Amino acid sequence: MTKCSIAELSDRTAIRVTGDDARKFLQDVVTNDVSKAVDGKAVHAALLTPQGKILFDFFLLDRGEHFLLECARDRVGDLIKRLMFYRLRAAVEFEDLSGDVKTWASWGGDPTYDEDAIKYADPRLEALGFRIVAPALHEMTQSGCIVAGEAAYHAHRISLGVPEAGKDYPLEGTFPHEADYDQLAGVDFHKGCYVGQEVVSRMEHRGTARKRIVPVHGGTSLSSGAEIKGGDTSIGVMGSVSGDKGLATVRLDRAKKAISDGHALRAGDVEIVLDQPQWASFTVPMKKTEDAT
């Protein structure tokens, strides 16, 4: 049996949300259905601009007496400010836990953990594994897993085609569909209204998401931020990379035309091939040949 791996995610932390109105408040502002966070499960959700673009992303856990938002460490202060902006007279409070907790990701097996840590399955995709929010003094050396670096976790994530905010798409400039939230359980289309809901709903029902984050591979190492072209046409940009694999934001319509016109797709100087994620319901245009040359 393959032994699981575990990596500390130094760029993640958590916010504690308390108060009599916490549940209703969160339900009214985030993209997912808070009621799905039951029996130790988490939901992946975002807080959007009124124009429907992603401001913050996080994992939401219902702890009974409070909620936890596992979020980006460098955005925690801004996220709390935005939540307070929407609070108005609601009985809800927010506490930055950056000095108190660490976040870990584990994949390839089921890790063991102390009772004062919180483990939950990554709600985006089962193959991503688990996440653990633990007291800051914990090192997870007794998890039963191989302790790996963050790069190993991101290589695993990239291999599955799952994007991450700040690495694969810019916050405040990306619609949920463009970051595949509709495919990876980040949006509930049947819950009530939330900030930016009208735009997201319209994109879903009209099928107007022409830009998507998709996995790619090339014949040599790829570079984050490289422009992707099909012939002379710009069709996208590279996001996070791991060797010759990466994730890219791509205009699928332009990619399809470039491929049908016989043009190779290139990320900088490297010829690439777009890959079809197993979890995606949308179709990724691909070359007839199996590998980039």
* Per-residue model confidence as pLDDT tens digits over 102-130: 999 999 999 988 888 999 999 999 999 99
When pLDDT is cut at 50, 70 and 90, the band that residue 291 belongs to is very low
Amino acid at 91: A
Residue 289 has pLDDT above 60, yes or no: no
Where are the chain's structural domains? 5-160
Q: Give the tokens for residue 122.
A: 């990554």
- Contacts for 198-203: CB closer than 8 Å, 24+ residues apart: 198/52, 199/48, 199/51, 199/52, 199/175, 200/31, 200/48, 200/52, 200/175, 200/176, 203/52, 203/175, 203/176, 203/177
Residue 19 has pLDDT above 70, yes or no: yes
When pLDDT is cut at 50, 70 and 90, the band that residue 207 belongs to is confident
If you average pLDDT over residues 191-212, what whole number do you get? Answer: 94
Reported pTM: 0.94
Amino acid at 281: S
**Residues with Cβ within 8 Å of residue 72, at least 6 apart in sequence:** 11, 12, 13, 56, 57, 58, 79, 165, 166
When pLDDT is cut at 50, 70 and 90, the band that residue 246 belongs to is very high
Q: Give the tokens for residue 23.
A: 């549940």
CA–CA separation, 271 and 19 (whole Å)? 53
When pLDDT is cut at 50, 70 and 90, the band that residue 293 belongs to is very low
Q: Determine the pLDDT at residue 288.
A: 58
What class, spelled out in words, does domain 5-160 have in CATH? alpha beta
When pLDDT is cut at 50, 70 and 90, the band that residue 169 belongs to is very high
* Per-residue model confidence as pLDDT tens digits over 78-89: 999 999 999 999
